Each structure stands twice: as structure tokens, then as C-alpha cells.
Amino acid sequence: MSVSNGFERLAMVASDNERAQAAAHELRQTTEFCPIDEAEAVAVIGGDGFMLQTLHQMLDQGDIKPVYGINLGTVGFLMNRHRKTGALLDKINRARAFTIAPLRMEAVTQDGATTTVCAINEVSLLRETRQTAKIEVSVNGRVRIAELVCDGVLVATPAGSTAYNLSAHGPILPLDSQLLALTPISPFRPRRWNGALLPDRSRIELRVREPGKRPVSAVADQKEVRDVAQVTLEIARESELTLLFDPGHALDERIVAEQFIA
């Protein structure tokens, strides 16, 4: 049985790369688009980086709409395959919706300034100099590791678990797992600690020890805050995002398939 999302007003944004611009030009010949503030859904043409950029703009502006990605970038994990056949609006109305909740990062710098920003994939803390970082790890107010000596540490959502987290040997999380991955980056001590899986209702606090001698930056997707003293992380339930995927090419299936790639 086919299911229609019922969208009638569609907006489109495209990255600056030549292939994405060419596809956008073709779509304008066959599809009527409206401004984003009038749209019910948005077609995003480009790669994963451009998709993240678009989603962050929606979060920043407080105008969150369902998005349908068309891959004309490199990896395209968050995107659909580019197919020239079929009407775009029909494809979007047949698409399956997935809701993802970003991480909210509250970072306090050494001089006391506070920055609050959301991350869709992950938040990573990284050493800024040749000195290893020393980070205290607390979960729900309880110190779990008094001193993690490392190049860094990251917290990934299920949607981001196949990105930087996987490269750092973290686990792949099914989209509906309701978990977060806490993954060390090149840990020196405790050397055998491989990370932790935490319920996504957890509140995670990462406090930098000796921040003057061992400065650390915090990166929430594409937003960097340097010289942090403490970072607090929790899921931003009020900022859920909806991604639309073609039947048979949904994000949850891609996450499962990624675990069987040799």
C-alpha cells in the first residue's frame, strides 16, 4: 500500500558544486518551487556536508521542515540516490520519514564564555597542541573516569555513529537504539578503555584538566569552540529533525548495511 506524505509546497537548495547546480537547473524545468519560509518540505541537493549545513541553518533559524536529500556530493550517507526519472514531488510524497534528535552542546571556555550549539552527528573534544588532553568524564552527575589521557573524546548520535565515531573505532548504532556512543580518540590512559554506550537520556559532562597547559577545543559538527574548560551534552528533544528517504534506501537500512562492509 502506498503512503503519501501530502506535501504540496516544495523548496529547493543546492550546493555550489557544478553537478548539484546542473541538477538544480534541470529540476526547475519540471518542478515548481517556492521560498523556504513558504514550503512544507525542502529538497537538498549536494552531499552530506551541505545537508548538515542546511539542517543547522534550520536549527539556528527555528524553522525546521522535513528534508529530502539528493546525493550529488561524495558519500551521501544522509542522501537519496540521484535519479532523473519520476516527478520529484511524487518521490518526496512516497518517501519514508525518519526523525533524529541532535545533541545540544553547552561549552564553557577558560575565560568563562558560554556557547550553546547543536550537533547532528557528534561532538568531539580534541587536543590543540602536542600535549595530550586530560579530561574528566561524568555521566548524570557521577564521575566515571577521573582522568582520561587522550588525543580527545567524542559523543556520537546514531545518525552520526558511522562518521567520525566509526573512524575512531566506536560502535555503529541503529537509528532506533536510543543510545549515544562515548568514544575515546587515541586513549593513552586508561589504555584498555574502548568507550561506552549510554542511554540517550543521559547528561554527559566533560571537564578539561590542566586547560592552560593542555588546551582542548570542542567541535559540534562544523562549529568549533577553542580553549574549552567544560562541555555538557544532552539530547535536544525540542529540536527534532525529519529526514525523508526513498523506500528501500532508508537511513536505518544503511546503518545496518554498514556493519557488513568488509
CA dihedral (152, 138, 163, 44) positive or negative: negative
Q: In this model, does residue 2 exceed pLDDT 70?
A: no
* Residues 169 and 209 grouped into a single domain: yes
pLDDT given for residue 262 in this prediction: 60
Q: Is 162 annotated as a binding residue?
A: yes
* Residues 67 and 108 grouped into a single domain: no
Expressed as residue numbers, the domain containing 150 is 103-236
Grid cell of 211 as nine digits: 586547560
Residue 5 lies in a domain: no
Q: In this model, does residue 76 exceed pLDDT 80?
A: no
Burial class (CB in 10 A: 0-12, 13-18, 19+), 227: middle
* Residues 190 and 246 grouped into a single domain: no
Residue 140 lies in a domain: yes
pLDDT given for residue 73 in this prediction: 82
Q: Is 121 annotated as a binding residue?
A: yes
Residue 4 lies in a domain: no
Around 198, how many Cα atoms within 13 Å sit in the side-chain half-sphere?
24
Q: In this model, does residue 241 exceed pLDDT 90?
A: yes
Residue 1 lies in a domain: no
Q: In this model, does residue 254 exceed pLDDT 80?
A: no
Q: Is 159 annotated as a binding residue?
A: yes
Q: Is 122 annotated as a binding residue?
A: yes
Read off the pLDDT of residues 188-221 as tens digits, 9 standing for 90 and up: 999 889 999 999 999 999 999 999 999 999 999 9
| Spatial separation of the C-alpha atoms in residues 229 and 220, rounded to whole Å | 15
Which of the residue ranges 90-94, 105-109, 241-245 has the most confident prediction, judged by mean pLDDT?
Answer: 105-109
* Residues 142 and 56 grouped into a single domain: no
pLDDT given for residue 4 in this prediction: 65
Average pLDDT of span 81-106: 90
Residue 72 lies in a domain: yes
Residue 78 confidence class, pLDDT cut points 50, 70, 90: confident
Residues known to be catalytic: 48
**Count of structural domains, the chain:** 2
